[in-house]
């Protein structure tokens, strides 16, 4: 089969490799569609990665890495002991944090907080390939209804479900979502399902804000034209929102907002409010503890939610309470398109992309 493999830093090639081994309790999955995440591009380019130490160790030991953890696949072969899957099932995965099943968190039923997660695209060769071998417990069966392209977007949507759950939104709460990319738009829609009252979307792109309105935002703020803190305070009669979901921060080199949007969230949230930090931030963050204490602000880094959250994300799309299809603006065909897809995904503003690029394998 064909698979992209990182053999060393910046040595990323499409190669002919053997079909993966199917272990007891595992299944062989044919990749239908793979979605190129920003972290995949970062892994290839040698940028900081959530699993940096493991990747460095694998490459130093001569073990290549195949990225890709956001996908839609089909079960084409099952190993001994598999009981919950059958041939032809459409599946996806929670991606970078499959639980190990043996640590204290897993044994206590808190798999989303696993202490030794197994990562697709690191220890498990990922979806930048024609086939993958995946443990049964790492696969989630997808209901009929959503398209293959929608299913490929379910992994980040599942994380949105976990993030909104961690926010503890109460019916009628005012919620601001900073950043209207795939994660921000997912959180905005799930927050609406969770009972949020006034929903405010913040971004620098007009097309993203248009989607935000279509997906249920009562108001939007273009932060390239106005101070988002002042505008949000006006919209909330100078009280501030109950919850701010920060989904815009991250590497400035990737077209993201750096640390600035978290500082803005701290300024705009109401006294006693909550900030949910979901964007992957880098570097040291300066916080004003006096301000945070005087406002009684809670800064929360929620867990991804695991398989249960991904199943619920699939249910929300299947029942048409959440939309992902309008976000999918760039779809390519053939694994050879991975480098081009990475370029577009890393420069969404330049290419007018909302969702990461998808590749039909």
User: DSSP characters for 120-147?
Assistant: BTTTB--SSBSEEEEEGGG-EEPPSSS-
The reply to whether 321 falls in a domain is no
Is residue 252 classed as helix, strand or coil in its secondary structure? Answer: helix
Residue 314 lies in a domain: no
| 110, 217: one domain | no
Phi, psi (5° rounding) for residue 75? Answer: -70, 120
Q: What is the pLDDT of residue 220?
A: 98
Per DSSP, the three-state class of 226 is: coil
H helix intervals, 221-328: 228-235, 260-268, 289-294, 306-318
Q: Are residues 66 and 198 in the same domain?
A: no
* Per-residue model confidence (pLDDT) at position 59: 84
Is residue 88 exposed (0-12), middle (13-18) or buried (19+ Cβ within 10 Å)? Answer: exposed
Q: Are residues 187 and 278 in the same domain?
A: yes
Residues of the domain holding 251: 164-300
Task: Name the domain count of the chain.
Answer: 2
Kindly list the distances between the CA atom of residue 227 and the CA atoms of 98, 184, 203, 257, in Å, as whole numbers in the listed order. 40, 19, 11, 14
Tokens of 125: 């060769």
Q: Specify the 3-state DSSP secondary structure of 77.
A: strand
Question: Residue 139: what pLDDT?
Answer: 94
Give me the pLDDT at residue 60, please. Answer: 83
Same-domain pairing of 136 and 57: yes
In a domain, 323, yes or no: no
Whether 77 is in a domain gets the answer yes
Quote the radius of gyration of the chain (alpha carbons, Å).
20
Question: The tokens of 121 are what?
Answer: 């695209």
The answer to whether 244 and 268 are in contact (CB under 8 A) is yes
CATH of the domain at 203: 3.40.50.720
- The residue behind tokens 């993966």 is 20
Residue 143 shares a structural domain with residue 192: no
Does 306 fall in a domain? no
Q: Does 158 map to a domain?
A: no
Kindly state whether residues 294 and 170 are assigned to the same domain: yes
Distance CA(357)–CA(313), nearest Å, equals 20
Is 59 inside any structural domain? Answer: yes
* Alpha-carbon span 211 to 355, nearest angstrom: 12
Residues in the chain, pLDDT under 50: none
Last residue of a domain, one of 300, 315, 346: 300
* Residues 117 and 229 placed together within one structural domain of the fold: no
Query: Which CATH number covers residue 146?
Result: 3.90.180.10
- Residue 82 falls within a domain, yes or no? yes
**Phi then psi for 125, rounded to 5 degrees?**
-55, 135
Are 52 and 169 in the same domain? no
Structural domain ending residue among the three candidates 300, 319, 345: 300
Q: Are residues 25 and 138 in the same domain?
A: yes
Q: Please tell me whether residues 64 and 94 are part of one structural domain.
A: yes
Residues 64 and 141 in one domain: yes
Kindly report, residue by residue over 309-350, the tens digit of the pLDDT: 999 999 999 999 999 999 999 999 999 999 999 999 888 888
Q: What is the pLDDT of residue 226?
A: 96
Token pair for 336: 């050879």
> pLDDT per residue over 41-71, tens digit each?
878 877 766 667 778 888 888 889 999 999 9
Residues 15 and 140 in one domain: yes
């Amino acid at each position: 089969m064909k698979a992209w493999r990182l053999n060393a830093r910046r040595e990323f090639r499409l190669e002919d490799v053997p079909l993966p081994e199917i272990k007891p309790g595992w299944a062989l999955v044919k990749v239908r569609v793979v979605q190129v995440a920003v972290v995949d591009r970062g892994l290839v380019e040698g940028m900081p990665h959530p699993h940096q130490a493991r990747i460095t160790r694998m490459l130093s030991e001569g073990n290549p890495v195949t990225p890709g953890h956001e996908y839609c696949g089909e079960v084409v072969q099952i190993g001994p002991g598999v009981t919950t899957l059958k041939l032809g099932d459409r599946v996806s995965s929670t991606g970078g944090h499959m639980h190990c099943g043996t640590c204290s968190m897993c044994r206590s039923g808190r798999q989303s907080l696993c202490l030794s997660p197994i990562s697709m695209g690191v220890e498990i060769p990922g979806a930048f390939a024609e086939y993958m071998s995946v443990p049964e417990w790492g696969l989630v069966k997808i209901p009929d209804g959503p398209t293959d392209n929608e299913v490929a977007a379910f992994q980040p949507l599942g994380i949105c479900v976990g993030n909104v759950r961690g926010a503890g939104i109460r019916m009628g709460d005012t919620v601001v979502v900073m950043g209207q990319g795939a994660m921000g738009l997912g959180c905005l829609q799930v927050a609406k399902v969770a009972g949020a009252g006034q929903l405010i979307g913040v971004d620098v792109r007009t097309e993203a804000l248009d989607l935000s309105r279509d997906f249920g935002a009562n108001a939007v703020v273009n932060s390239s034209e106005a101070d988002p803190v002042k505008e949000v305070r006006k919209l909330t009669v100078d009280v501030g929102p109950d919850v701010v979901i920060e989904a815009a921060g991250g590497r400035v080199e990737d077209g993201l907002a750096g640390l600035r949007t978290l500082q803005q969230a701290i300024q705009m949230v109401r006294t006693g409010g909550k900030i949910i930090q979901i964007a992957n931030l880098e570097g040291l963050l300066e916080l004003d503890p006096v301000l945070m204490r005087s406002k009684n602000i809670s800064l929360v880094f929620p867990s991804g939610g695991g398989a249960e959250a991904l199943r619920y994300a699939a249910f929300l799309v299947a029942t048409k309470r959440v939309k992902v299809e309008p976000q999918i603006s760039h779809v390519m065909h053939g694994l050879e398109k991975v480098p081009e897809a990475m370029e577009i995904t890393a420069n969404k503003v330049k290419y007018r992309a909302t969702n990461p690029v998808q590749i039909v394998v």
